[in-house]
Amino acid sequence: MIVSASYRTDIPAFYGTWFARALSAGEVMVANPYGGKPYRVALRGDDVDGYVFWSRNMAPFRDNLSALGALQLPFMVQYTVTGYPRPLETSVIHASQAIADIRDLARQFGPRAVVWRYDPILFTDQTDGAFHKDNFAALAAELSAEVDEVCISFAQIYRKTRRNLDRAAARHGFTWRDPGWPEKQALLDHLADVAADHGMNLTVCSQPEAAAAPAQCIDIHRLSQLAGYDITAWRKGNRPGCHCAESRDIGAYDTCPHGCVYCYAVTDRDRALANYAKRRHDPAGHQLAE
């Protein structure tokens, strides 16, 4: 089994102490996001094949990576760096800090240990197509030779996403839109060429409309190379176009305080901040959210 930590929240950035206690205990209870009973997930032992971490800031998590190394558990990191304006990403670390962190991870654990995510691509009057071309090229130049894959997707506009975007737009005075696929595909083709120029393969996460290589974010091939032996798992996508291997996610929705206005995992930031404050003061709790 592969442990995902987590596409529901940023465990490495905010919940490292909680994770360390759970890893020491060998298991964790996870709140069922669909309203059922919490379920138990093993974090070490013969049933655990490795980890995929999702984060915008891995720096606070280094001791946990060392602990996983001591347990001989392979891991890879899906590391998001977008460099968007502050009204869109309230409290993420600066892109230069994230790039330095990726370089450190790649040099310590190898370039196969990290995948850069330029994700999601959001169209606003501050981040139009020209912005994305220039911004992506600048980030790719900084990460050239450090990573071999960049994963992109275009923002999925769920009802809660639309509400949060509209609120932020009114507060900060920007406009946003969700263009059709011809415009998205044209940008995707351009970004793929830029990525290739910097030695990266561009993949697209869970968007079957895209004419591009599909991402495998829970990637057993990459994990197997990092482990030095074959890891097997069923392919079990989470949504249309998803090519991920089967995993168990240990995060919880509405617990990430980054404040990204396009985030699908946060219904209300005040709720996320409250959940974060509760767990920060009680890191030994079995679940991130009740």
Residue count of the chain, please give it.
290
- The pTM of the full predicted model, rounded to 2 decimals, is 0.96
Q: How much is the pLDDT for 228? A: 95
Computed on alpha carbons and rounded to an integer, the radius of gyration of the chain in Å comes to 18
All domains in the chain, ordered by first residue: 2-280 (3.20.20)
Q: How much is the pLDDT for 32? A: 86
Confidence grade of residue 281 (pLDDT, cut at 50, 70, 90): low
36-to-30, 161, 177 alpha-carbon distances in Å:
11, 24, 35
Lookup: tokens for 158: 């769920």
**Cβ burial, residue 74 (10 Å; 0-12/13-18/19+):** buried
The DSSP call for residue 132 is H
Residue pair 235/245 in contact (Cβ under 8 Å)? The answer is: yes
Question: pLDDT by residue (tens digit) across 11-49?
Answer: 999 999 999 999 999 999 998 888 888 989 999 999 999
């894959």: which residue's tokens?
149
Q: Are strands 114-121 and 50-55 parallel, antiparallel or unpaired?
A: unpaired
Question: pLDDT by residue (tens digit) across 179-195?
Answer: 999 999 999 999 999 99
Rounded to whole angstroms, how far apart are CA atoms 33 and 20? 23
Helix (H) or strand (E) holding 229: none
* DSSP state string for 137-187: HHHHHHHTTT-SEEEEEEPP--HHHHHHHHHHHHHHT--EE---HHHHHHH
Residue 251 backbone dihedrals phi, psi, to 5 degrees: -90, -175
Question: pLDDT by residue (tens digit) across 83-94?
Answer: 999 999 999 999
